[in-house]
Structure 1
C-alpha cells in the first residue's frame, strides 16, 4: 500500500485537531499502574498504537502477576513501551519474557538493565547480550543508588524514576553522559509530583523518596510532537494559516521549543483561546543551526522542511537517532538523495544538510519515498508535495503509531489531495 499526496492549495486555512500526547498518555498509564490500588484518573488518552499497546500489556500483566509460568509481553516496535515495562516487570512479582519486533531486538538496552540490576532486579538476556528480549524474575525491589546513561534514551531514566516511589529505599539516580532529551525526563518528574511523589532533579542527580503515589488526576495535552508536521507544511506553503486546536505554549512538553525553531523558517506562532495559530509571514534566516540534543524527534520535520525550502542547515545532538524506530539519520540520507539533497555526517552527533532540490526531474515522475516502518519519516516527507506537486509515500499506515488521523487531517486541511494505491495499481 502507498499513498499519493498531491498539492491542492498553496494558500490555505485549516483548523487541525491534534492527537493527545502519546508521551503524557504513556507516563500517565505507568504512574496509574504503579499507584494501584490508589486511584489515578488518567482521563482521555492518546489513540496512538503505542498507547493502545501499553494498555493491552498492562492488562495482561495484571492478569498474570504472581504466576510461576512465564508470560510473554510483546512490545512490537514500541521502544517507550519496552523501556517503561522493563522497570515495571522487574518490580512486579511474576516470571516474564519482555520482547518485541526484529527492529526492537536491534535496539540496545544494556544501560537500563545494568541500572535495574543495581537496584536488585533479576534480569537476563534471553537471546543476545545487551539486547532484547529480556527474561525477568519480577519481585519487590529494595532500590537505593544507581546510575544511568542518557545518551541512548532519556526513557531509561524515566522508567527508573517512575517505579522509584514503590522501592523500599527510594532512588538516588546519577545521570551520565550527554543529557539528551532532558525535557522528557522533566515531564516525567512533573507528572510524578502531580501524583503525590517527591521527586527532585538537581542537574544530573535525581532523588525520589519512598513515598507512594497518591490520588490524582492526570490530563493528557494536545501533542506538540505531532504539531511539527503542520509547522513544516505551513513553512512549505506560500501562505498557510493553521489553527492547531488544543495546543498550549505553556505545555509540559519540551517539543514546544519548535516555536523558536520554525520561527527561523518564517513561521509565527500565536496563542489563542482555541489553540496555537501558525502562519508563514517571515523570511528564512541565513546560516541555520539547530541544536536537537533535547529534541531529537524534531529532526525529520526540520530537515525535510529545510530540504524543501532549498536552504542549508546544520544539526547537532543526533547521536541517539540510530536507535529510534529506524536509523533516522541513514533514512534521511537515503531519501534526500532522491532529489539532490545531501545530509552529510560531520561528527559523532552532527550533520549538515546541503539542499538543492531538483524539481525538474519530477515534472512527469512522482518522487517515491520509503518510510522504514517509521511514523515520523512518513509524516515528514508528505508535506514535500508542496514542493514537488505530488509525492508518493510507501506504507502510509505506519503513522498509526503516533498520529492515527494524520492523513484524514491532511485531506481536510485543503492543502493536499490524497489517493491510496494498493500493490496491484
Structure 2
C-alpha cells in the first residue's frame, strides 16, 4: 500500500487518541504468562509482533514463523530452549535470517541448551530441542541488543537454579533491562542488578497476578513529532500512560521540551502542548538508552530546520533494516544534509524541504511512522505504508483524525 499524505487545513491540532499497550511490555508479559498460567494480562498490544509472539508460545512442535518480529525471535529462543520436551524450528522473514542471533545462542548453549543452525551459522532459522537447564552462570556482551539480555532474564525464574548473568563491557539500553526486572518483581520474582551482574531467583509458582500493560511510548513519539511541527497552542491527549513508566522511551517527555513540547500527566493520560519556545541552534542527544526514538527525533529536527547530533545508535544497524543508512537515504531525498556513522547521526539545518518525495520504508514500521509527522510541513508519499501494523496497526487512521489528508496512491 502506497499512501500520499499532506497538510491538514490547519496546523493547529486539538485531539485525543487512545494507544494500545506497549509492544515491549506485552511481549515480556506474554512470555511470563506462558511460564505461569496464574498471570492475566490486560491492555495488550494489538501489534503484529505481539500477535506472532502469542501464537508462537502456543506451538509445541514443528515450525514457528515470527515473520519480522525480532523481539519474538530473541524471546522465543530462550523460551523453547528451556521447555523440556518441546522441539521446534524458529524462523522468520528474509530480513530476520540476516539478523544475528549467535550471541544469545552461545549463551544458552553454555547453560546446556540444544540449539543448532539450520542454514547459516549465527543466524536464523534455528532448531531447538527443549531441555531441563540446571546450570545458572552465564555471560553476555553488554553492548548488544538488550533483548538478548531480557530473553535470558525472563526465562530465568522457571529454571531450577535461576540465573546469574554477567554483562561484559558498557551496558546499553538499561531501561529495557530494568523493565524486565520490574515485571519479574510484579509477579513476585526476586532479582538484583549490582554493577555488571544480574541475578534472578528461581520461582516454581506465582500467585494470581494481573499485569496491566501501559500504552506504548514509542507510538507516542510520533505525536511528540507532530506537536513539535504544529502551531503554538496545539494539543494532543494520549492514553493510557503513567508518570513512573517502565519504558525507556518515556524520556520523550524530557527530550521534546527542547522542541517546545510540554508534557502534562493527568491521571492515566498525557497532554502534549506546543508552547512558544526559543529554538535551539543544535540538539545533542545520547540515545543509547532509547534508540527506537532516533528516527522520530531526526525527522523532527529536519522538519524544524534544527541541527542535531544523535549518538548511542549502534543497535540500529541490526534492526528491521539498517536504520542509520535508511535515514541517510530517505532524508537526503527530501533535501537534508545528513551524515551517519556506525553509531551516530548528524544533521545540518535545512530551510527547504523537497515536496512529494516517495519515502521507502524497508519493511521497517518505524521508518513509515517517523516520517508521518512531516505531513505538517510538506506533502509526501509513503511506500509500503501498511508496514505500521508491526507495532501500531491504527497509525494512519489515527493520523486522519488529526486532519492530515491521507489517500491511497
Q: TM-score, normalised by structure 1?
A: 0.92
Give yes or no for the alignment of 1:136 onto 2:135: no
Aligned partners of 2:325 and 2:340 also within 8 Å = no
Residue ranges of structure 2 left out of the alignment (5+ in a row): none
Give yes or no for the alignment of 1:345 onto 2:340: yes
Paired residues for 1:11-410 under 5 Å:
11-36=12-37, 39-61=38-60, 64=61, 71-92=62-83, 93-215=85-207, 216-239=209-232, 240-281=234-275, 282-346=277-341, 348-359=342-353, 361-362=354-355, 366-388=356-378, 390-410=379-399
Partner of 1:3: 3
SS in 2 for 1:264: helix
CA deviation map 1:245-292 (0-9, x unaligned): 222222111111011111111111111235111111123323311110
Partner Cα distance (2:324, 2:186) in 1: 36
Give yes or no for the alignment of 1:419 onto 2:407: yes
How many residues are matched? 404
CA RMSD of aligned residues (A): 1.3
Cα deviation for residue 242 of structure 1 reads 0.7
Runs (4+) of structure 1 exceeding 6 A deviation are none
Partner Cα distance (1:248, 1:149) in 2: 32
Partner Cα distance (1:143, 1:189) in 2: 20
Partner Cα distance (1:357, 1:400) in 2: 33
Partner Cα distance (2:312, 2:91) in 1: 29
Partner Cα distance (1:338, 1:257) in 2: 29
Cα deviation for residue 357 of structure 1 reads 4.6
SS in 1 for 2:405: strand
Partner Cα distance (2:45, 2:12) in 1: 30
Residue ranges of structure 1 left out of the alignment (5+ in a row): 65-70
Partner of 1:67: none
Cα deviation for residue 212 of structure 1 reads 2.6
Partner Cα distance (1:345, 1:300) in 2: 12
SS in 2 for 1:382: helix
Cα deviation for residue 320 of structure 1 reads 1.0
Cα deviation for residue 178 of structure 1 reads 3.0
Cα deviation for residue 43 of structure 1 reads 2.3
Cα deviation for residue 152 of structure 1 reads 2.7
Partner Cα distance (2:169, 2:48) in 1: 31
SS in 1 for 2:94: coil
Aligned partners of 1:368 and 1:393 also within 8 Å = yes
